[in-house]
Amino acid sequence: MHVLLTGATGRLGRELAPRLEAAGVRVTGLGSRDVNVTDFDAVQRAVDTARPDVLFHAAAFTDVAGAETQREACWCVNVDGTRHVALAAREVGARLIHVSSDYVFWGGDDRPKGGYRETDTPGPVRNTYALTKLVAEEAARVAPDALIVRTSFRETAWPHPTAFTDLYTSQDYVDVIADLLASVVLHHAQIEGGPLHVATERKSVFDLVTRRNPDVTPGSRRDAAVDLPEDVSLDVTRFTQLHATWTTGKEATA
Ligand SMILES: NC(=O)c1ccc[n+]([C@@H]2O[C@H](COP(=O)([O-])OP(=O)(O)OC[C@H]3O[C@@H](n4cnc5c(N)ncnc54)[C@H](OP(=O)(O)O)[C@@H]3O)[C@@H](O)[C@H]2O)c1
């Protein structure tokens, strides 16, 4: 299998590529210096040259607070960039695996919260980044049978003195999530297109962060510079069943 990986220089891409290579996958990694996804001709050239079996799209504008003041840049990278990647994947017949986010759900306060399933209608959204990730999901559907992986992750070294006790997610450390996503890539042919939630159990950000960063102190999402959800935890039943099937070697049909 040959995987063309956008966002290869990012947090997720750096963890995912070596896992795929260790499993015998040929990986061609792209950062923004290799190909700017906002440039359709450049994307098309790169994809046409690589002719991958899978186009794993992890490139994105991910600065959630910065997106509020750089709305156009965030939209161009996340929405237009995804459309370009999806069109290019369609042209060469590559399977698109698009990385989306738990932020496509509202997550609490005055609306139902948490435990979101793939069949739940996403939105409304809290902030500009979330809006672009939601619209990007629809852009990804330009590619036939596109697999839209909603996930969430953190780096092992938490860069802040505090972490939110009042923001619940199913996210995990990026190395944990990269293991799960590598299994998705390896078994993608057994997974129907559309959304798939790939994460772990529900927990607060504080609970996750202090597993590896015990000195971090409690904080509140109310103190963040941008509106953040209360509970965007994902129901991962479908992925858990698939993963169990892969690890026991039985045929999957989800
Ligand atoms: N981090 C999270 O908590 C989280 C949660 C849910 C979903 N996600 C999604 O997971 C994916 C990966 O996130 P990440 O945290 O690994 O991102 P990241 O560390 O911020 O890295 C972003 C990647 O995108 C590339 N990129 C940015 N602008 C680009 C452009 N115009 N053209 C081409 N490449 C561009 C960057 O390339 P350069 O290094 O060359 O700039 C880099 O490789 C994204 O789709 C993100 O939305 C992340």
* In-domain check, residue 162: no
Write the residue with the smallest CA distance to atom 7 of ligand 1: 101
Tell whether the model's pLDDT for residue 251 goes beyond 60. Answer: no
User: Is the separation of the CB atoms in 128 and 180 below 8 Å?
Assistant: no
Per-residue model confidence as pLDDT tens digits over 128-155: 999 999 999 999 999 999 999 999 999 9
Catalytic residue list contains 129: yes
How far apart are alpha carbons 235 and 244 in whole angstroms? Answer: 16
User: Are β-strands 95-101 and 54-57 bridged in parallel, bridged antiparallel, or unpaired?
Assistant: parallel
Tell me the CA–centroid distance for residue 252 and ligand 1, in Å: 30
Write the residue with the smallest CA distance to atom 17 of ligand 1: 10
* In-domain check, residue 209: no
Q: What is the CATH number of the domain that holds 178?
A: 3.40.50.720
Domain range spanning residue 64? 2-154+171-199+234-248
* In-domain check, residue 128: yes
Tell me the CA–centroid distance for residue 13 and ligand 1, in Å: 8
Q: What is the pTM of this model?
A: 0.96
For residue 195, say if its preceding peptide bond is cis, omega within 30 degrees of 0: no
Number of domains the chain contains: 1
Per-residue model confidence as pLDDT tens digits over 219-228: 999 998 888 8
* In-domain check, residue 219: no
| Averaged confidence pLDDT in the chain | 95
Query: Long-range pairs for 176-181 at CB < 8 Å and ≥24 separation?
Result: 176/200, 177/12, 177/15, 177/151, 177/152, 177/153, 178/12, 178/15, 178/16, 178/19, 178/153, 179/19, 180/151, 180/239, 180/243, 181/12, 181/16, 181/99, 181/149, 181/151
Please give the number of the atom of ligand 1 that sits closest to the Cα of 154. Answer: 3
Identify any residues that bridge with 180 across adjacent strands, giving them in sequence order: none
How far apart are alpha carbons 232 and 152 in whole angstroms? Answer: 10
pLDDT at 227 (0 to 100): 85
* In-domain check, residue 254: no
Query: Which of 50-59, 101-110, 153-162, 242-251 has the least mean pLDDT?
Result: 242-251
C-beta 132 within 6 A of ligand 1: no
Identify any residues that bridge with 173 across adjacent strands, giving them in sequence order: 154
* In-domain check, residue 208: no
* In-domain check, residue 159: no
* In-domain check, residue 253: no
C-beta 151 within 6 A of ligand 1: yes
78 token code pair: 């996340």
Per-residue model confidence as pLDDT tens digits over 162-215: 999 999 999 999 999 999 999 999 999 999 999 999 999 999 999 999 999 999
Tell me the CA–centroid distance for residue 6 and ligand 1, in Å: 8
